[in-house]
Structure 1
């Protein structure tokens, strides 16, 4: 497939890029700053900010992954970015896969309390989590875009192991066999590429956790 990855050189984006290339997909990294040294020889770049992407830029992709993360103090940009992506993808056949947040996952069976609503949730992370949650709500209301939103577990580990194993949930925060809510970025990337290659969560948010 031809896969565009917004934020391909960021933390999560780098794992997604590596996993997609490993599986033989054509990957175009969409970044504001093209790195001077490129580790992956078969990776090409589109040097553009997310907010100036056009329908012409993305219409030939099979999949567009957004690993966009708003700067500190500008967290409301998550909503703006989502609105822009929906607008340029409207009425195309391109699938949108979004690297979501864990803060908007629910911690109760009635699905009334988000993780960011709890006393234990750090105040510093609330602006990002709340605005990512608003962006998800906006995405749910869209009618003309094929989308999937993948939330990680509470602890999203840059240096975690690539085990190739994960378990899947829907709207609730999950725990592994040790009572921890965590997933490595490497295993998260595996989960997202599995979804791209074998769609099971179209027009849905879901989550993954270590086993």
Structure 2
């Protein structure tokens, strides 16, 4: 089984003016596709791993041969991270219900949650991701380096939990529109969060 690029459920211009069409197209068809191609190439001579789902694979990185571990950590990680990211994006949805209650319970208020998320993102050095994760019915905000994912476990990603929301803070995600204004990009994220999908993830795990 080879990994394939997931289709988006919306056109590339759907998130304008917050996430621009050109960046979305390049991000999806070039960057994400490259992670998939590299992961598939690395798995070509690993039949015992090639039939795993992407989540199963990143949870078994420590079982990989040493010469394959880093390339699959980076590229299988890039595939799962972006596959999640596209689902988290949609304009004009509303934070409500049990997810809203849980965020208020864990972070005191929605505004404090957003502030904490933004500060985690802006203070992360270099490339990586910021996540809202759920673990044992507790919500936490964490960041991971490069293409690491919390599902990889603490020994690899430095954290552990199920990501229910994530923001890509690699420069390729925002540089065409925002240049070095990472904070502007981070703040724009709230205009395109698909709270319906985040709520579904929250209730699923």
Q: What band does the TM-score fall into relative to the shorter chain?
A: under 0.3
TM-score (normalizing by structure 2): 0.27
Higher relative contact order (CA 8 A, sep 6+): 2
